[in-house]
Amino acid sequence: MSGMNLVRAYGDTTGDGMVQLSFTLPVPAGPRAEAAAAAFAAKMGLDPALVVHAKAMGPDFTFFVVYGRSSVVIDLDEVHVQEREFPLLTTKEINLMVRSRLRRKLVVVGGTVGTDAHTVGLDAILNVKGFAGEKGLEHYRELRVVNLGAQVPAARLVERAAQERADAILVSQVVTQRDAHLHHVQEVATALDEHWPRARRRPVLVVGGPRFDPAKAAEIGADRVFAKGTTPREVASYLVHALVAVQPTAATAGAGR
């Protein structure tokens, strides 16, 4: 390592390595629980590990906040992130490209899958009200949006996409217990493979949620993964990049549909 881009956590002074973490242990609140929390944090490498907050979570669990020093050093030269490979277009540019190149409305079907009842992220991208000062995909004249809402079975989502002749499927997942978000997306990907023969172009599968890793889209069967903070314009720009920019004529766009 060159040493020029090495960083440590910042707490009280630059480079002191101090970090704060929170967790819950299945131990009733009390001195023994706090000692267990300190020992747990110490085994994670914090030295010293100071329990600065403890709160009972019912009779059998305790929530902790621990403050301590970590020896971990990160070389920023070894940190890699997925860069956006497509231009961020304006609303006018997106509508113009869809109208002039696809020559029909671009169809998007979205929903949350399985037991996930959270629609805040889905609505932020699809609904007109949008997110972060940007209007959602329903605002774009050349996009037709079908929002199926929450708790949609994977097979039903894919069936509706076929009925609507969708160009893209948007899946939003917030529930992450036992990797439920990954399993549900994989169910959608499997249903897509089963529904669309290899000779036909299937809809683009776009996934979003706070616990997804954009670099691992292929591992879960998605074409694109968007992390938290993604805006509707980013999603719309990607759809143009993936579905419109490479299709010069309406005849090409409709081939195999």
Which residues are catalytically annotated?
129
Angstrom distance (rounded) from CA 66 to CA 69: 10
Write the CB contacts of 19 (distance below 8 Å, at least 6 apart in sequence): 9, 11, 46, 67, 68, 69, 70
Amino acid at 202: R
* Two tokens, residue 33: 């629980």
Torsion of CA 238, 241, 242, 245, to 10 degrees: 160
Give backbone dihedrals phi and psi of 234, rounded to 5 degrees, phi first. -65, -45
Backbone φ, ψ for residue 156 (5° rounding): -65, -40
- At CA 8, angle to CA 78 and CA 14, rounded to 5? 140
Backbone angles phi, psi at 22, to 5 degrees: -130, 150
Kindly report each contact of residues 128-135 with a partner whose C-beta sits within 8 Å and lies 24 or more positions away, as own/partner: 130/231, 130/232, 131/231, 131/232, 132/229, 132/231, 134/231, 134/232, 134/233, 135/91, 135/232
Rounded CA-CA distance 221/85 in Å is 19
